[in-house]
Amino acid sequence: MSAAAPITEHALLDVIEGREAEFEAAFAVARDIPAQSEGFESLRLLRCVEHPSRYLLLIEWTTLEAHTVGFRGSALYERWRQLLHHFYDPFPTVIHFETVTERDP
Peptide bond connecting 90 to the previous residue in cis, omega within 30 degrees of 0? yes
- The pLDDT of residue 3 is 53
pLDDT in tens, 7-54: 999 999 999 999 999 999 999 999 999 999 999 999 999 999 999 999
pTM of structure: 0.93
Residue 5 pLDDT level (bands cut at 50, 70, 90): confident
Instruction: Of 44, 41, 38, give the one whose Cα is nearest residue 13.
Output: 44
Annotated domain spans of the chain: 16-97
Q: How confident is the model at residue 1 (pLDDT cuts 50, 70, 90)?
A: very low
Determine the topology of domain 16-97 in CATH. Alpha-Beta Plaits (3.30.70)
